[in-house]
Amino acid sequence: MRFAVVDLETTGGRPAECRIMEMGIVLMDGCEVVGTYQTLIDPGQEIPPFIRNLTGITEEMVSGQPQFSSVAEHVSELLKDRIFVAHNVLFDCKFMRAEMKRAAIPYDPPRLCTVKLSRRVFPGLPSYSLHKLTESLGLADFRHHRALDDAMAAAEILKLAIAKVGEAAVFKEVKNMSNPKKAKEL
């Protein structure tokens, strides 16, 4: 299976009004990491104080960075024919689809949520937040709320889940597999 483990830092929680300001992608073929991508994005809007405090990302950091439209084609190629994986996948996938739509690129991938997967594969843990989950699973600490670091942490969780239950069981958790031919390619 081919995965794109994605984490996005955004200016807020509403894809219609808010924008991506940092993106991290870990490309995996099975359990092997075959590439990574990270970029700051100029969201074209103010970063609210709460978000600045949470992520450490400031207007100065994103000023002069590319806007999403200038990286959209490259990102589309990176994500092509891969299962979109994220910790709370609906959040990240909705933002990615909204930004791709603004760039006139259709995008509706098969997706896998590492929160839901972890609840099935590692039941009974005290918390399934990314930070607490990595602690419970004995994974290395990381810079929280920075896109590539969060994506790498989610990729490590995915690797552990595959090692524990196998690819076939993980594949059963993939949503939006509307095209059977495409499913066989992944």
Residue 145 designated active-site: yes
Options 87, 131, 144, 145, the catalytic residue: 145
Cα 70 to Cα 65: distance, rounded to the nearest angstrom: 10
C-alpha torsion 65→68→74→80, nearest 10: 140
Which one-letter DSSP state was computed for residue 87?
Answer: T
Question: Is residue 114 within 8 Å of 84, Cβ to Cβ?
Answer: no
C-beta separation of 6 from 84 below 8 A: yes
Side chain identity at residue 75, one-letter code? V
Q: What are phi and psi of 33, to 5 degrees?
A: -75, 120
CB 83 within 8 A of CB 4: yes
Strand partners, 4: 27, 84
Catalytic annotation, residues? 145
